[in-house]
A and B are shown apart, each in its own frame.
Chain A
Amino acid sequence: MTPLIQLTNLTKTLKGQGEPRSILSGVDLTLHAGESVAILGRSGSGKSTLLSLIGLFDRPDGGQYLLGGSDITRVPERRAARLRSDEFGFVFQRFFLLKHLSAAQNVAMALVNGQGWLPRRKRKATVMAALERVGIAHLAKHKPPRLSGGEQQRVAIARALVREPKVLLADEPTGALDTETGALVIDALHSATDRGCGLILVTHDHAHANRMQRVVRLADGVLVTERQGVFP
């Protein structure tokens, strides 16, 4: 079975002012459809950098990145945008919702992105279905400032899921939430794997990490498996 994602010896060096700093020095990672993986690691260990490489926000300096068997290590930006739209869903710690748009409009942002076009009625139905999946369809017309942190994160999850992505990338999605709300958010994310969506969760929280099928730790630029899940 072809894995959804296969990273082989991925490297990334940050070049800014001063000496170049090696962040990733040979990362190997495989993710199958419906599988969930938690990535743990200290602050500055490169978890978010790894996620930005997987999500095609950035490109690796070396190694190989296969998505569904296709090599996308050096994918051009135009195709990367298409892949971000169709293959990936993103959830961030800071929600990144636009304050001037309603919850439904924030979700619709992933549909009105120049990658295909849905008629207004169909778009609305798709958005409402996504909000329904995370249990906040009744808040569709509310703007973010009127929503709680947990509700805002669920709007962000609905936005990530609205295009039915193959891979869900979550970068510390519970970092700004209390424990109880965080658990609800993890529930919402985890439910996506039931539909065959792969989930990569970057977190500091061991409790949330332990709910994933596999847990890996990023240390010294390489991934070390902490708990191996059973996956066909």
Chain B
Amino acid sequence: MGLSGRFRSALIIGGQGVRARKLRTFLSMISLFLGVLAVVTVQAGAEIANRALLADIELTRGKDGTIQVGLPQHEQTVPIAVDTLRGQSDAVAAVSTQAVIGEPGVTPINEGGVPFEYAGQSVGRGQYYCDGRGACYSVESTEAPAPPGKAIELQIVGLTGDIRPFRPFYAEAGRWLDFSGEPSLSPGLVLNREAAKGFGQYRVPAEMRITGASVNSTPRILGVVHDGQSRPVAYVRADELDNWLPAANGNSGASSHLYLSPSATRLEQTLNGRLAAAGVPMEQSYRDVVNSKERIGGQLALMRLIFLGMAALVLLIGVAGILNVGLATVGERIEEFALRRAVGTPRLLLAGIVLAETLIIGLLTAAAAVGVGVAGLEAAELLFGSREPMLQGVQFPWQAGVAGVIAGLVAGVLGGLLPAIRAARIPIATVMRA
């Protein structure tokens, strides 16, 4: 009751003090506003950058906690992986190989499956080879190059299930792969943004030749996604791809990559057991757990600290403003504080009243700064959203709001502490004389 009564008393009297000195309150708020706004802006900027960076990494590497396994190339790897993971929701196998869509027997526009901005810039006679980790190498060839023609080379990724729970692709057009029902003999492709760009720029015949296959297929394009890759990639059902892979597809250069949820350990063990039993050299496999948040958190932490340090300096100027106004106000209110002590207000509560006033000012300033931050972000999205993808659909990060409130409260405490001590030390006897 005592603490509650004192707390309520401090709030009531502090509120009366703020209302009685509106202009001073406003001036204090102005001096503090820029500091709190700086903290809010830095925190919001860091959070938004963090989210954007994380979203990019999630697209290419997978969500945090995802287990990635690269399987060694072997004639039994793909069939066993596809068979084991078929119909599983907590694991997906991605079988990657190269394919050319367009005129047969020609050199593709983007030989080696390079991004289209580098199309036609390949040097020397060679061929690209990409491993399961996505790293590509140039391999020298002694064969005479085929004549250039209307064809696009891309990476084909056969999936045993929906990969989006692990890599959250953005849908851009059409639809995603449907894994229910029987596989079609005409493989349904979902292109990534770069592949879609190629098919938008160049008109090519609908004939697909998978590396190592002897028979060409006619693909259907189902949709377009953004997968964060700069190379042209097409996603297809693994069983539809399997129809067109050479019989001994383990030798076709296809690599297998697994995405597993942390709970899929038994499935992983089963797969490893089956592969080892089939003679796949499992010692050549690699396993990696995606831990992007911690990794980029470390990268951004220093940057954030530097900016927060600068914001803290601006905040300190605001604190000096509150301190200045607070000390002047206490000087003017000596009689009031002496009177309050005379009617029994304890020293501690007097200090609490002054602190309550500066805390109210800090909170009001924080509310104003957060409000301006939210409005500013919305305005930035409206003005620059079309040019900056990072700003599209961006939400004001709650962490920035919390940082603003904390900054306001800290400034209130720092700015009010000295005036509070002074108020508590005012002697009654000398002030209350007739």
What is A's interface to B at a CB cutoff of 8 Å? Answer: 48-49, 52, 55, 57-58, 77-78, 81-86, 90, 92-94, 96, 98, 100-101, 105, 109-110, 112-117, 159, 171-172, 175, 202
Contacts and interface: CB of A to CB of B under 8 A. Distances in A.
A84 B343 contact: yes
A108 to B, nearest CB: 9
Given A57-B428, A92-B434, A100-B20, A77 B1 contact: no
Interface in B1-52: 1-2, 4-6, 8-10, 12-13, 16, 19-20
B335 A96 contact: yes
Contact of A94 (B10, B427, B434): B434
Contacts of B432: 52, 57, 90, 92, 96, 171
A109 B340 contact: yes
A115 B344 contact: yes
A82 B8 CA distance: 17
Contacts of B144: none
A49 B432 CA distance: 10
B339 interface: yes
B336 interface: yes
Interface in B235-282: none
Contacts, number: 97
A84 B346 CA distance: 10
Contact of B347 (A81, A86, A93, A115): A81
Given A105-B16, A117-B4, A117-B9, A77 B340 contact: no
A114 B5 contact: yes
Contact of B343 (A100, A105, A110): A110
Contact of B342 (A55, A100, A116): A55
Contacts of B13: 112
Interface residues of B, number: 32
B344 A96 contact: no
Nearest to B428: A57
A82 B19 CA distance: 28
Given A52-B429, A100-B20, A175-B434, A82 B12 contact: no
B329 interface: no
Contacts of B12: 112
Q: Which 3 A-B pairs have the closest CB atoms?
A: A85-B344, A117-B5, A100-B20
A148 to B, nearest CB: 19
A101 B20 CA distance: 8
A24 to B, nearest CB: 13
A171 B434 contact: yes
B423 to A, nearest CB: 14
B195 interface: no
A48 B341 contact: no
B127 interface: no
Contact of B429 (A57, A83, A92, A101): A57
Contact of A112 (B9, B20, B347, B348): B9
A171 B9 CA distance: 28
B344 A101 contact: no
B224 interface: no
Contacts of B323: none
B295 interface: no
Contacts of B349: 113-114
A78 B349 CA distance: 11
B433 interface: yes
B189 to A, nearest CB: 72
B344 A82 contact: yes
A141 B41 CA distance: 45
B229 interface: no
Interface in B339-386: 339-349
